[in-house]
Amino acid sequence: MDAGVLNLDTLLLVQICVTLLTTALLVASACYADSPPEQRWWAAGNVAVSIGMVMCNVDGLPLLVNNILGYGVIAFGIALVLRGLRVYCNNTLSWTTIGIITGIALVVMAYYTLVAPSLRARLCFSGFYYAILNWMCAFAIARRGSWRVSGIAVAGFVLLGVALFLRGTHMLTHSDPADAASSLVMALSTLAVPLAQICIAFGVILMVMWRYAERLRRLSTLDALTGALNRAGLEMQGKRTGLRAQRGGRSLAVIMIDVDFFKVINDTYGHPVGDEVLRHLARLVRLELRPHDLLARFGGEEFVLVLDGVDRPSALKVAERLRARIEYEMVELDKLSVRYTASMGVVCSDQHDYDLIRLISAGDAAMYEAKRAGRNRVAAG
């Protein structure tokens, strides 16, 4: 393969077309009311990069636009993309930093255009500078992990940075830009740029799709009021927890929790106070949770706590500690102060095997035994 096959002008045209197409793709995906902010930053950044590339490559434009402003607009666009990536990773990039990134490009390009004119210096700097910015984009999402989701985008940013860095290195070591334009290195680097842009565009869209899928999964398995698992989530995760405990030879305890006289609370203070009681109970129970434990709202005012590696005596201690804390705490809402209590039933796999349905059924029976015994107490099943 030689440089004649890879005609540089054709490749530059392909690069600009791919940039415009990927930009249109990102803009279209961001043009709806509920699009996440990072998607809008990516779209805006790609629009700026496209405008900057047109400003740098269209002949007949003023020198200020062609050699200075165009490069600054490209740097500004990459900075916006970087901001979007950091927003995706629950961070941000200040406007001061974006201004500095843009200002560096403008100042250097102005120097090599007006003070010490040098096409070679401009091409070398732009290659190195844009490579660093793209590697910063790759690092921003790589440090977050989740390679299965972000790997394509990371690879695209890395490839784009490598292509631009090789272009800058080639221009640095080649004395005549006109000869460099026909070199195989320049042609290959120009070919790599649109391939990297396609990877980046599809990579960031994949990241957004994964985030939406994760939100939908959470919505389908979580109780909207308390943030605890719902019954579907409990069934799905509870089976895994039970199997993990069984394979590890550990005990599995279940604590059934039911708010005493919850209907009276709703009738006396109203449903908003009743909802706050349920949220308050969920917060208190979470204080007892370890990483592999589960909390689920089983229905109405009834909750399930699944404890991995906890035997019956230890589970009874946890339940009694939780019962006392609930009795002591006060729920406050709109200048109302409400106390409530809870009855609990405790069962363990040591007596009822590891089947979660059986454990919940036995725990439910123990909990109603606690209610029949006077409420605000713990019963073992």
pLDDT tens string 325-364: 999 988 888 778 889 999 999 999 988 888 889 999 999 9
Q: pTM of the full predicted structure?
A: 0.68
> Residue 36: which region, alpha, beta or left (left: phi > 0; alpha: psi -120 to 50)?
beta
Residues 177 and 252 in one domain: no
- Domain span holding position 371: 231-380
**pLDDT band per the 50, 70, 90 thresholds, residue 157:** very high
Q: How many CB atoms lie within 10 A of CB 99?
A: 12
Report yes or no on 223 lying in a domain: no
Report yes or no on 342 lying in a domain: yes
- The answer to whether 324 and 339 have CB atoms below 8 angstroms apart is no
d(CA 353, CA 222): 26
* Range with the poorest average pLDDT among 52-56, 280-284, 294-298: 52-56
Of 187, 214, 241, the residue at which a domain comes to its end is 214
How many independent structural domains does the chain possess?
A: 2
Question: Which one-letter DSSP state was computed for residue 215?
Answer: H
Residues 293 and 209 in one domain: no
Residues 105 and 14 in one domain: yes
The CA angle 173-13-75, to the nearest 5 degrees, is: 60
Partnered with residue 342 across adjacent β-strands are 259
Report yes or no on 172 lying in a domain: yes
Residues 125 and 69 in one domain: yes
Residues 96 and 180 in one domain: yes
Residues 209 and 237 in one domain: no
pLDDT tens for residues 44-71?
888 898 888 888 878 888 888 888 999 9
What sections of 222-261 are H helices per DSSP? 231-247
Supply the pLDDT for residue 1. Answer: 45
- The answer to whether 339 and 331 have CB atoms below 8 angstroms apart is yes
235 annotated active-site? no
Catalytic residue (choose from 214, 301, 327, 332) = 301
- The answer to whether 360 and 239 have CB atoms below 8 angstroms apart is no
* Residue 135 predicted with pLDDT over 50: yes
Query: What token pair was written down for 240?
Result: 């895994």
- The answer to whether 246 and 71 have CB atoms below 8 angstroms apart is no
Residues 111 and 22 in one domain: yes
